Amino acid sequence: MVSGRAPEIWIGEDGEALAREGVKRLVDSARRAIAARGRFVVALAGGNTPRRLYQLLSHIDSIDWTRVHVCFSDERMVALDSPDSNYRMARETLLSLVPVPPSQVHPVPTDLSVDEAALRYDQVLRQVLPQTEPRLDLALLGMGSDGHTASIFPGSRLLAGVDDDFLLDDPETGPLRSDVPTPSLDSFGSERLCAPVYDAPKPPLQRVTMTPYVLNLARQVIVLVAGDDKVAAVSAALESDARVAEIPIRAIAPVTGELVWLLDRKAGRALGSPMR
């Protein structure tokens, strides 16, 4: 796992408890960010797990929503009104129900090609992130049963160099870096914040994802995992020394930020941690 602080692991009874805890942490994160820097830049997770969290969050009026900037940790390359769109899920459960200024909601431009969309979203993030210290305040992430997160799947080129034996020599691009340095703002200008995905094993095939680099610079990362089907991946992620190439979420370890895993009892079953 990339160097970083040990994660906090919270286990709740069920999906509802998980959602409530996620709301509590997000509200706290927002308050701290707005008090300290006048804005809260959050990357929302896709998939189904965050749905209930977003629904509960839509009733929260203690956040100054006019100070909130919303982006997406990944997006499927589908129309923004497609049932598969992460943006549509967030819009229906949250964004259409709270007074966040539309100009501060940044969907991935899925009407472009996947390469153009990744390049454009990289530019968008560079405009949204504070110039002084371009870091996400909070990145919400889910995890698939194969240990993927955002749209960083097992074997992804974005993971090359993190394990000491997983390198990719691509005739087109030449050898990728053999040792990924600890993420630092020093290289912000030359790093990729987003990347295209052409061959996701979880349909749809084409996606845009935030990279481990930008996620690991976040002030806080909250991973939301629920359900029996995630037990093995949770154990592999938190209690094994599996290669990052096999369990991509093991590449997510904020360098100075806080990493929090919020699990329901089913997903955390094999960890044996005390119930909350």
Query: Residue numbers of the site for ligand 6PG (CB under 6 A)?
Result: 45-49, 74, 76, 86, 142-144, 148-151, 202
Nearer CB in complex with ligand 6PG: 67/210: 210
Dist. CA 74–CA 46, nearest whole Å: 7
Nearer CB in complex with ligand 6PG: 39/223: 223
Nearer CB in complex with ligand 6PG: 143/194: 143
Selection from 94, 78, 111 nearest residue 202 by Cα: 78
Nearer CB in complex with ligand 6PG: 19/150: 150
Least Å distance, CB 144 to ligand 6PG, is 4
Nearer CB in complex with ligand 6PG: 141/217: 141
Least Å distance, CB 47 to ligand 6PG, is 3
DSSP structure class, residue 154:
T
Selection from 250, 125, 152, 252 nearest residue 209 by Cα: 152
DSSP letters along 159-198, please?
GTTTSTT---EETTTEEPPSSPPPP-GGGTTTS-SEEEES
Least Å distance, CB 185 to ligand 6PG, is 25
Dist. CA 273–CA 164, nearest whole Å: 31
Residue nearest to ligand 6PG (CB): 142
Least Å distance, CB 205 to ligand 6PG, is 12
Dist. CA 13–CA 39, nearest whole Å: 33
Q: Which residues of 162-178 are buried (b: 16+ CB within 10 A; e: fewer)?
A: bbeebebeeeeeeebee
DSSP structure class, residue 214:
H
Least Å distance, CB 243 to ligand 6PG, is 19
Nearer CB in complex with ligand 6PG: 76/250: 76
Least Å distance, CB 206 to ligand 6PG, is 12
